[in-house]
Amino acid sequence: MFRSRLVQLSKGFLLVLLLALMPTVVDSTVADSMDSAEIERIRQRAGDYFTAVGSRRFAQARQFILPASRKDFDPNRSAKGSVTGFDILGVELEEGKRSAIVEVEREVVAAVVAGRVKVRKKFRWKLEAGQWFLDPNDPPKTDAEIFQEYYYSKRGAETTAEFEETVFDFDWAARGDLVQPRFSFRNPGARDLVIEKVYGPEWLLDRTETVHIPAGSSGEVRMEFDTSAISGRLSQDVFVRFEPVKEMVKLRIKGRVFTQEEIDRSPSLTRKAAERKAAQAATP
């Protein structure tokens, strides 16, 4: 009797626990689904706008402009050349989800150059009365503006993130090797840090796993690049942007990449290459 009562109480407790947890899981799933649907709506609206501009249907294009900004905006004048194609590279909802940043690559035929050029630009879209509109009067900051505010204006000042080393010297690599730079740092401040973006060339991939670094804890910026298209000495600057402190830290990757022919001609490099291969084979 007592055991039966205990089983019933246990089942009741588990049911209450499951019911308490279910809304969190469902809400999270629903929120993600809603964000995806909203991003798709913005993508569609942006696509329709740029299609109208490219077709020189400027009266139609104006209908996609935020009503409060329409009187100041002329889509024809803003095009700065004939738009022959476009590609929406990404859509990112901003905090509060009442605005979004849309990055677009446009193919433009301009009078000052021969042929077509591709131009990347970011635009801010805003939600008003249940619909998304482009707001040309509130453009997102360009990378140049971010660098000026976050880095150049603060040069010489101490940054919040304390890096153990700001230079990663991989010494040398054989052409075709995969190099994985690592930069460890500490957040000694009272506020949490967020790694917002890593600025570098396209061949350098950002592999950072944890971007939210609580106050008093440590983090690591992880990168990766294939040396197949690189030869000779390498010295590459990389910038890491931190929020909400609006700071940028410059890091550097350096070393030398040898071709197989150069390694074969050097007895010391040949020996070192063999030692590396043996060490890698011995590593479990």
What pLDDT does residue 279 have?
82
Q: How far apart are CA 50 and CA 59, in angstroms?
A: 13
CATH 3.10.450.50 fits 33-140, yes or no: yes
Q: pLDDT per position in the chain (284 positions), as tens? A: 444 444 444 444 443 333 344 444 435 566 677 899 999 999 999 999 999 988 889 899 999 999 999 987 776 665 555 777 899 999 999 989 999 999 999 887 765 555 678 888 999 999 999 999 999 999 999 989 999 999 999 988 888 999 999 999 999 999 999 999 999 999 999 999 999 999 999 999 999 999 999 999 999 999 999 999 999 999 999 999 999 999 999 999 999 999 999 999 999 999 998 888 888 788 76
What pLDDT does residue 214 have?
96
Q: How far apart are CA 217 and CA 161, in angstroms?
A: 10
CATH superfamily of 161-261: Immunoglobulins (2.60.40.10)
What pLDDT does residue 71 have?
86
What pLDDT does residue 120 have?
87
What pLDDT does residue 24 have?
40
User: Is there a contact between 105 and 86 (Cβ–Cβ < 8 Å)?
Assistant: yes
What pLDDT does residue 252 have?
97
Q: Which residue intervals of the chain bear CATH 2.60.40.10?
A: 161-261
Task: Give me the phi and psi of 227, to 5 degrees please.
Answer: -90, 10
Beta strands in the chain (DSSP E): 82-93, 99-109, 116-128, 131-134, 162-163, 167-174, 178-179, 182-186, 193-199, 205-206, 212-213, 218-226, 232-243, 247-258
Q: Which residue intervals of the chain bear CATH 3.10.450.50?
A: 33-140
What pLDDT does residue 75 have?
64
What pLDDT does residue 266 have?
93
